Amino acid sequence: MPGLRQLAGAAYDLFARNRTAISTGFGLAACGIPGAPPPRRAPEPEPTPLADWALRQAHVAREVAVAVVFFVFAADLSVSNVAMPEGLRWLHRPAWAEAAVSYPHIAQAWSMFSPDAPLRDYMLFVDAVTREGRHVDPMNEVASRTAVLPVQDIPPRLGQDSFWCDYQLRVPNMPAYQQALLEWVLRYPERTHRSGDAILSFEVWLLEHASPKPGETAPTDIRRQRIMQWQQPAPPPPPAPAAAAPAAAGKAP
């Protein structure tokens, strides 16, 4: 940049003319002038026997914790990867090892790499009908960058994060996830603050296709599968009027 070299040179010359004052101002030695002596620290008290023992145990606990983490990673690595040879797979992990992987979400499944990279793309979408007759997709209004109905094929980029991807992969085969999704979809008007957005019925569809082959740009083998369906139950019919009791024989009304 024009003038930058000249500006830097002028700044350096200014600093050089005052280097002694600047250095001594920071307490540093400059041109034979000794620097400021370091501050004197009070001697630290000797640790008690209990504190000394606890410090030694902390070092041991640290190394044990690191070993446990590596053990958990190795165990899950052998289970979660299809490409792992059978002889190296640990099929019966203890429950604590499974919990150590599930709770912090640290699964070691590297299925995006060869040789078992996934060859199909998946997407869930909801086709819900509101009280006003609109078709809306409550899920992708939150999860994706597009929520336009009807959906003919998976859009080029959904913009979902990894948590939405993991969640949607589990919905088709886990009833507990489906029940939670049903309750969440029915609360759609609470999020839009419009009474006309009350859901009368909805369907959840799994859309998938085969990824384009090398040298191609269009997917193939597009499939649709309805995995959930809900409709507002019809109101019960009004109760029938009670029949009048017959008059007793031989008695005047």
- pLDDT tens-digit readout, 177-213: 999 999 999 999 999 999 999 999 999 999 999 999 8
Domain that holds residue 53: 49-102
Q: Are residues 206 and 164 in the same domain?
A: yes
Same domain, 186 and 222: yes
Residues 165 and 204 in one domain: yes
**How far is 106 from 99, CA to CA, in rounded Å?**
10
| DSSP code per residue over 27-38 | T--BTTBPPPPP
- CA torsion angle for 112, 116, 121, 123 (degrees, to 10)? -80
pLDDT at 84: 77
d(CA 70, CA 100): 12
**160-174 residue pLDDT tens:** 988 888 888 889 988
169 assigned to some structural domain: yes
In the prediction, which pLDDT does 197 show? 95
Beta strand segments in 58-198, E: 120-130, 135-136
Are residue 132 and residue 207 in the same domain, yes or no?
yes
Choice among 93-107, 119-133, 176-190, 213-227 with the minimum mean pLDDT: 93-107
Q: Do residues 132 and 226 both lie within one domain? A: yes
Whether 138 and 59 share a structural domain = no
**pTM for the predicted model, two decimal places:** 0.56
pLDDT at residue 36, as a whole number: 67
CA distance 217 to 177: 34
Q: How many domains does the chain have?
A: 2
pLDDT 10s digits, 108-149: 777 666 666 788 899 999 999 999 999 999 999 999 998 999
- pLDDT of 224: 94
> In whole angstroms, what is the distance from residue 240 CA to residue 237 CA?
9
Helix (H, G, I), strand (E, B) or coil at 211: coil
In terms of domains, do 75 and 126 share one? no
In a domain, 40, yes or no: no
Alpha-carbon distance of 120 to 159, in angstroms, equals 17
Sign (positive or negative) of CA dihedral 123, 128, 133, 134: negative
Q: How far apart are the C-alpha atoms of 1 and 15, rounded to whole Å?
A: 22
Using the predicted structure, report yes or no on whether residue 231 has a pLDDT greater than 90: yes
Evaluate if residue 245 carries a pLDDT over 70.
Answer: no
- Asked if residue 66 is part of any domain, the answer here is yes
Structure confidence at residue 100 as a pLDDT band (50, 70, 90): confident
Model pLDDT, residue 136: 97
Residue 144 falls within a domain, yes or no?
yes
Query: Residue 107 falls within a domain, yes or no?
Result: no
Say what the pLDDT of residue 184 is: 95
Chain centroid to Cα 104, Å, comes to: 11
- Is there a domain that residue 19 lies in? no
pLDDT digits (tens, 9 = 90+) for 3-30: 888 888 888 888 888 888 888 788 777 7
Domain assignment present for residue 164? The answer is yes
Between 248 and 102, the higher pLDDT residue: 102
Give residue 67's pLDDT: 93
